[in-house]
Amino acid sequence: MNPKEIVLQKIKEKGGWVNTHAHLDRAYSLDEKTFSYTNSYLKEKWHLVDEMKRASSVDTIYGRMERAVNLFLEQGTQAIGTFIDVDEVIEDRSIIAAQKLKDNYGKDIEIRFANQVLKGVIDPVAKEWFDRSSDFVDIIGGLPAKDFGREEEHLDILLSTAKEKGKLVHVHVDQFNTDEEKETELLARKTIEHGMQGKVTAVHSISVAAHPKKYRHELYKLMKEADLMVISCPTAWIDHNRTERLAPSHNSMTPVDEMIPAGINVAFGTDNINDIYKPFSDGDLWTELRVMLESCHFYDVELLAEIATTNGLKVLGLDK
């Protein structure tokens, strides 16, 4: 028996891979200078990418995105969801490149875009770019940690905008692998408050595993009530730095093995490729699935194939 071949065959039968989370406008942007940034703390990288963004023309961005799309087409990918940077640094250059990508490859692969709000959504200038990009993207993107101390307001803006425009929401949450974070819980509560059940996805949620079992399972019930979906990006977080903080024994991985049995729709993605966030990532989808299944001790071939395909289609609003 070769379980890998069984999973791959089932993925093929379901139409091919679905990569629900990437940042294709930054893919392959690593160079000798920016490689020195790779060991920086995550919040520092939120600013360090500005240098690359300022230097990127529409053609440069398009070239990176096209190269990544062709990589996924070679792997038999049927759909991809990617965030694109939209702020006062890069302005609308990623939007223009994204539209060109959709025009040229829309018949070959389903592409869904979300706006990356690395400057937050509360600062007036950042809010202006968020508003401008919200009409273009398919999915409203969020990063509440960027508006630290005003996370609820951040989510209110995302959810009210998405509800008004009839769009899905993908939010980066719980990225620091600590029980101090409860952003997934906050997102679930806000989803219910705004009546957006079934339209919101938590991206990453790695800090969930740092909480005690009782809290985790109470959270899963709340997530189920909110019909909150989840995206796991395995290799993007397996490298999380160890700390001396006491917590339940766990790794820095979305607890897929607990969420799936709890009835939560879980999909997966590559996240960053060959940039300052993930310099060694090559966008191999089998590698992502393998890291997830091993780190979560999750060996159900049927469910693994669903995570890689049908669950992802739902997260991207492509389920039929």
Topology of the domain comprising 3-315: TIM Barrel (3.20.20)
pLDDT tens by residue, the chain, 320 residues: 899 999 999 999 999 999 999 999 999 999 998 988 888 878 888 889 999 999 999 999 999 999 999 999 999 999 999 999 999 999 999 999 999 999 999 999 999 999 999 999 999 999 999 999 999 999 999 999 999 999 999 999 999 999 999 999 999 999 888 899 999 999 999 999 999 999 999 999 999 998 999 999 999 999 999 999 999 999 885 766 667 666 666 666 899 999 999 999 999 999 999 999 999 999 999 999 999 999 999 999 999 999 999 999 999 999 96
Q: Is 38 helix (H, G, I), strand (E, B) or coil?
A: coil
Tokens of 145: 């940690």
Q: Is 266 helix (H, G, I), strand (E, B) or coil?
A: strand
Question: Are 42 and 176 a contacting pair, CB within 8 Å?
Answer: yes
Q: Is 228 helix (H, G, I), strand (E, B) or coil?
A: coil
Q: What is the pLDDT of residue 247?
A: 62
pTM of the predicted model as reported, rounded to 2 decimal places = 0.95
DSSP state letter for 171: E
Q: What is the pLDDT of residue 241?
A: 67
Computed on alpha carbons and rounded to an integer, the radius of gyration of the chain in Å comes to 18
- Domain ranges in the chain are 3-315
Tokens of 63: 């070239």
